[in-house]
Copies of this chain bind each other. A is one copy, B any other.
Amino acid sequence: MKKLINAPDQVVADALRGIQAAHGDRLRVSLDPYLLVRADAPVRGKVGLVSGGGSGHEPMHGGYVGRGMLDAACPGEVFTSPTPDQMLAATKAVDGGAGVVHIVKNYTGDVLNFEMAADLAGGEGIEVATVLTNDDVAVEDSLYTAGRRGVGVTVLVEKIAGAAAEAGRSLQEVAEIGRRVNAQGRSMGMALTPCVTPASGRPSFELAEDEVEIGIGIHGEPGRFREQAGPASQVAERLMTPILEDLPFRSGDRVLAFVNGMGGTPLLELYVVYAEVARIAAAHGLRIERNLIGNYITSLEMQGCSITLLKLDDELERYWDAPVDTPALRWGA
């Protein structure tokens, strides 16, 4: 394992030091507990948005803290969900009196820790609403399982709910909009290579030179099946078909198409994939009205991609277009 780090157990703290040095003018960074907060938080009267999760998915979530998106992010250790005390500290730091939304990806760890944090925040008189993301169609969904993982849609929830909060919407409204994004979005991912966490020093799974892993998550966990590596057109079909069937997306739907890199795949290739996504979407009669292409929710240095489709309506589209001013996503500002 070769990485640009000083020591496996310092990587998150060191990266936070880097973020502090780079963005200290717009973010408050705490190392104990790990925390990133908008410099101007709490914004009086505005619903606060807190997200969090394991590190190793950068720019998610720290890169999305700023005007028009998150008020705070709680980074955990690499691929390890953060702890309730971080989340509580974040919640208190961003509460401007209008309540706080927790954006939680559906992983047992994230869910349990955020539950505890919400309990604790409630105990301190802060109203918390939770938006759970679970958009990964690669995972079987049933009451008797942990359910689907939250993946690509999380970025879209953070942007769109963030804009709703910035627009002065109420706690319930912001949460409802976030949940709508989740309900109308579907994702699926694949990997060409595994990743290596600093702590383990070993590949998260083994893949032959001619194999790809389909239905991968964002934690280096193995996917649902592996198959012979094929052209980008086949990869795109493999991911788009279950996405399109699941919601389902129908001819005439307006969508946002998001092609996400897993961290180690060149942008050149993501555009190759996007060309295929656009082709398949057109064949289904979908109108891609907005798009996002790049490394936005990653799995360390994993090579691969995920595709997310979000069904748009006027409100979601307006909030997507609203100004955002964060280290990793910025427009209109």
Q: How many copies, total?
A: 2
Q: Is residue A283 within 8 Å, beta carbon to beta carbon, of the partner chain? A: no
Q: Is residue A120 within 8 Å, beta carbon to beta carbon, of the partner chain? A: no
Please determine whether B192 and A2 come into contact, CB atoms closer than 8 angstroms.
Answer: yes
Decide yes or no: A275 and B330 within 8 Å by CB, A59-B267, A267-B298 being known contacts.
no
Residues of B within 8 A of A143 (CB): none
Please determine whether B232 and A2 come into contact, CB atoms closer than 8 angstroms.
Answer: no
Decide yes or no: A56 and B21 within 8 Å by CB, A192-B4, A212-B2 being known contacts.
no
* Closest chain B CB from A117 CB (angstroms): 23
Tally chain A residues at the interface, Cβ within 8 Å.
62
Name the contact of A303 in the complex, choosing from B192, B264, B293 (C-beta under 8 A): B264
Name the contact of A265 in the complex, choosing from B4, B22, B267 (C-beta under 8 A): B4
* Closest chain B CB from A14 CB (angstroms): 4
Q: Which residue, of A21, A293, A295, A332, has the highest number of chain B Cβ atoms within 10 A?
A: A21
Q: Is residue A158 within 8 Å, beta carbon to beta carbon, of the partner chain? A: no
Decide yes or no: A264 and B301 within 8 Å by CB, A4-B273, A269-B4 being known contacts.
yes
Please determine whether B58 and A267 come into contact, CB atoms closer than 8 angstroms.
Answer: yes
Decide yes or no: A271 and B15 within 8 Å by CB, A4-B235, A295-B295 being known contacts.
yes
Residues of B within 8 A of A167 (CB): none
Residues of B within 8 A of A200 (CB): none
Q: Is residue A146 within 8 Å, beta carbon to beta carbon, of the partner chain? A: no
* Closest chain B CB from A309 CB (angstroms): 14
User: With A and B bound together, what is the CA distance between A278 and B63 in angstroms?
Assistant: 19
Please determine whether B55 and A268 come into contact, CB atoms closer than 8 angstroms.
Answer: yes
Q: Please report which residues of chain A, range 7-24, place their CB below 8 angstroms from some CB of chain B when the two chains form the complex.
A: 7, 11-12, 14-22
Q: A5-B269, A14-B271 are in contact. List 16 more A-B contacts (CB 8 A).
A: A1-B209, A2-B210, A2-B212, A4-B232, A4-B270, A5-B272, A11-B268, A14-B275, A18-B270, A18-B273, A18-B275, A20-B275, A21-B275, A58-B266, A58-B267, A330-B330
| CB<8 Å pairs between A and B, sample of 30 | A2-B193, A2-B303, A3-B192, A4-B235, A4-B270, A4-B304, A5-B232, A11-B272, A14-B271, A14-B272, A15-B269, A15-B272, A15-B275, A18-B272, A18-B273, A21-B274, A56-B266, A58-B267, A58-B268, A58-B271, A63-B267, A263-B266, A263-B267, A264-B264, A266-B298, A266-B300, A267-B298, A301-B303, A330-B331, A332-B333
